[in-house]
Structure 1
Amino acid sequence: MSQLFTPIKLGPVTIPNRIIIAPMCQYSAIDGKTTEWHAMHLGQLAVSGAGLLIVEATAVEPEGRISPQDIGLWNNETELALSETIQGIKKYSSMPLGIQLAHAGRKASMPAPWISGPAVKPENGGWQPVAPSAIAFDSNSAQPEALTKERIDSIVASFAHSAKRADKMGFDLIEIHAAHGYLLHQFLSPISNHREDRYGGSLENRMRLTLDVFSAIRKVFPANKAVGVRISASDWVENGWDLEQSLILCHKLKELGCDYIHVSSGGLSVQQHIPVGPNYQVPFARQIKAKVGMPTIAVGLITEPEQAEAIIATGEADMVGLARGILYNPRWPWHAAAALGAQVTAPKQYWRSQPHMVKNLFSDR
């Protein structure tokens, strides 16, 4: 029996298999509002047979967007647009849905990745980025303003307000984005956090904002729904954020009631040296699973069904996350189920696409 296609509980939420569609920014929103593109994009993924679909990084305030084309969830207009997108999907798919809430910090106000160039200036629809310290990410990024205590408090409140909106829309799960060099990760890493107040210096202080955001969301998001966190387990830079600190953070999150950890890496510094290859981040997930005892999602160049099955069957991680791989092949879970002798839920309109149904290829029924 395939272990990849067995159910798992993330706190109070049961998902039907261990394939997670990771959040993937589409850079296709208008003023934070989802468009027809998102309905088409998310709709096809919602009938892929995966166990869980997590909507892309969703900014909790306008200044928290990576680009002017990012989606958000900070007012009634952005909520209405996303709600219409999600309700259309839920009409045809029973797949559990999550949403990743995020703030880009110093990596904000950038053009979409297929457009080269520097940060988008305010006169062109951009804005002033903020960060724990006034240190730019790279030469293309704008110089950020260091956050005041009052602005930090307002960002925590914005995460909680967005969580309330996500609950109202019917999301089963919230993932807090503390990875890939965005705001919460910027506070965690000593490379980007040079503060001398209660949010900087010691590990306890650098973890404070991530833990405060988790607590604020967990307080307002219903107990029958799940809250997890995505982290970069390492900056891949000497004297940066690393696995040892990640383990301490995960223990703290577990104490607060975190339901899972989505384990990625990198994104904080241009100095990173990442040994990219199949399963290159899986060891991080394995260590967190073993030493913290929290459900983990492994992600990063997991492309083959047998590869994913081995990760789950050997206990290296509890789930596998697919991103670019499922963009390339939106029916990946169907094909994995066929290869591993398992079954997934698929729309009845597509049932006759199965290879053993080829004899009915020209049937009108």
Structure 2
Amino acid sequence: MYRECSILENVVVNQLHLNNRAVVAPMTRVSTRGDGVPTEQMEKYYRRYAEGGFGLTITEGVYTDRTFAQAYPNQPGMTNAQQQKGWEAIVRATHKAGGKIILQLMHAGALSQHLSHTRSASSIQPLRGMLAGYSKKQGRFPAPQAMNLAEIDDAIKGFVDSAIRAEKAGFDGVEIHAANGYLLDQFLTDYTNDREDQYGGSVKNRCRLSAEVTAAIKSSVASHFIVGVRVSQGKVNDFDYLWPNGLNDGEVIFDSLKNAGADYIHFASEGKGFDHGCLTRAGESLPKLARDLTGLPVIANGGLDNPAEANRILTGSHADLVALGTGALANPDWPARLKANDDIAAFNPAMFTFGVTVEDQFTWEEEAGLVRL
């Protein structure tokens, strides 16, 4: 019976009390009008996850500065008063519906499909091509320019300033996006970082920027304000990448993030499910290691919309919470369905028939005759 799943038990992250362990994973929706300001349609989109019973929603990644951070043309940001005001409406709506919400902070680095001149850890051209549907720009990513120390400091400041705005907007916390091949992951990954300074070489050095961003934000916000970090092995342009030294790499990375003050670790699986993205080559669980080593709450991700699979991850001590992406798109009321023992709908890729924006999704739902909250 779904209602007996441990997913529906409450949990505390730092001082944040959540009604259950179901989390909406961050998903890129590129739904602004080009100004980075959230829209009324986005407010409806986020509100209904709280109305559907999700204990926590993590927003799509927002760009943290207007120089080098933006990934996509219509991506939302958190860099000015107008953007902050737009997010305030979403926070109010989420809280009114009984949910909690965290803003994900993101710097695209070399994987920008918006900028012509990009910055990264090193001047190494990214693998493969740009994502279809998120930008008119297509083809191979250009080779970025290696960041100098002043640019690194500017990037850190962008993260901090956006986190301060998020706190003022009423968010329950922020999540630092150090996963999926974007800037912080470009520093962390061996084949995209050939630096010879304090940010290159060893795993600890390559994780330094993520730790510095975490520590800088923690020192700039209230103690109860959540600062989580999302990490992954796979990337949007390299689903099959695994950390070369498995658990040994994990020990260094997780320890660095804990020491920097992270309140939780979100271990993401990019595109192919938990057992593909969250395990080492030897089949060992990196989320479980993060949980055991740090004592921090861990969020797991990767095809966990199947309640039995999600429950396996929780009862097997791999994680404390489970984050749903496409499963949440198909079931914005997923926790309510579990509580009522209702069927879970499978994700239908046709949802993106008209495009990947929130407005496109609503158009498809209307034409498909779906009744939504």
Q: TM-score, normalised by structure 1?
A: 0.81
- Number of equivalences: 316
2:309 corresponds to which letter in structure 1?
Answer: Q
1:52 corresponds to which of 33, 56, 61: 56
Distance in structure 2 (CA, Å) of the matches to 1:250 and 1:44: 33
Gaps of 5+ in 2: 130-139, 279-284, 343-373
Which SS does the other structure have where 2:304 is aligned? coil
- The verdict on how the C-alpha distance between 1:316 and 1:238 changes in structure 2, with shifts beyond 3 A counting, is closer
**Of 315, 318, 321, the match for 1:316:** 318
Q: Answer whether contact 1:46 1:93 (CA < 8 A) is retained.
A: yes
Encode CA deviations 1:111-137: one digit per residue, 9 max, x unaligned. xxxxxxxxx5xxxxx442111111121
Task: Determine helix, strand or coil for the equivalent of 1:220.
Answer: coil
Q: 1:44 to 1:328 in 2, by over 3 A?
A: same
Correspondent of 1:128 among 97, 110, 117: 117
Q: What residue is the counterpart of 2:216 in the other structure?
A: 216
Deviations 1:286-324 (A, max 9, x none): 232233332111110112222222322232211111111
8 Å CA contact retained: 1:233, 1:242: no
Deviation at 1:278, TM superposition (A): 6.1
Matches within 5 A, 1:75-114: 75-90=80-95, 92-108=96-112, 110=113
SS at match of 1:181: coil
Deviations 1:17-54 (CA, angstroms, capped at 9, x unpaired): 11011111101122211122311211211211011011
8 Å CA contact 1:280, 1:301 repeated in 2: no
Q: Which residue of 2 aligns with 1:328?
A: 330
Which residue pairs with 1:299 in the alignment? 301
* Structure 1 contact 234–240 (Cα < 8 Å) conserved: no
Matched, 1:6 2:22: no
Does residue 1:73 correspond to 2:78, yes or no? Answer: yes
What is the distance in 1 between the residues matched to 2:118 and 2:245? 22
Q: Which range moved further: 241-250 or 203-212? A: 241-250
Distance 1:287 1:281, change over 3 A: farther
1:88 Cα deviation (Å)? 3.7
TM-aligned CA deviation for residue 196 of structure 1: 1.3
Q: 1:312–1:318: 8 Å Cα contact kept in structure 2? A: yes
Q: 1:39 to 1:148 in 2, by over 3 A?
A: same
Q: For 2:211 and 2:273, locate their aligned partners in 1 and report how far apart those are by CA, in whole Å.
A: 32
How far is 1:328 from its partner? 1.2
1:169-318 aligned at under 5 Å gives the runs 169-233=169-233, 236-237=240-241, 240=244, 242-265=246-269, 276-277=272-273, 279-281=275-277, 283-318=285-320
The aligned amino acid for 2:313 is: I
RMSD in angstroms over aligned alpha carbons? 2.1
In the TM superposition, what is the alpha-carbon distance from 1:239 to its structure 2 partner? 7.1
> Which 5+ residue runs of structure 1 have no aligned equivalent?
111-119, 121-125, 267-273, 341-365
Q: Paired residue for 2:135? A: none
CA distance in 2, matches of 1:173, 1:9: 13
Match of 2:45 among 35, 41, 45: 41
4+ residue runs of structure 1 moved beyond 6 angstroms? none
Give 3-state SS (helix, strand or coil) of 1:262's partner: strand
- Alpha-carbon contact 2:290-2:296 (below 8 Å) kept: yes
What's the offset of the Cα at 1:243? 4.1
Percent identity of equivalent pairs: 32
Distance 2:298 2:214 in 1: 17
- How far did 1:10 drift? 0.9
**Contact 2:243/2:249 (<8 A) preserved:** no
For residue 166 of structure 1, what is the aligned residue in structure 2? 166
Structure label with greater radius of gyration: 1
Aligned with residue 64 of structure 1, among 66, 69, 75:
69
Q: CA-to-partner distance for each residue in 1:201-260, whole Å, 9 max, x for gaps?
A: 122221111111000110112101211100014674477574431221111222232211
Q: How many angstroms apart in 2 are the aligned matches of 1:278 and 1:213?
A: 27
What is the TM-score normalised by the length of structure 2? 0.79
Q: In the alignment, is the contact (CA less than 8 A) between 2:210 and 2:257 conserved in 1?
A: no
CA contact (8 A) 1:259 1:294 kept: yes
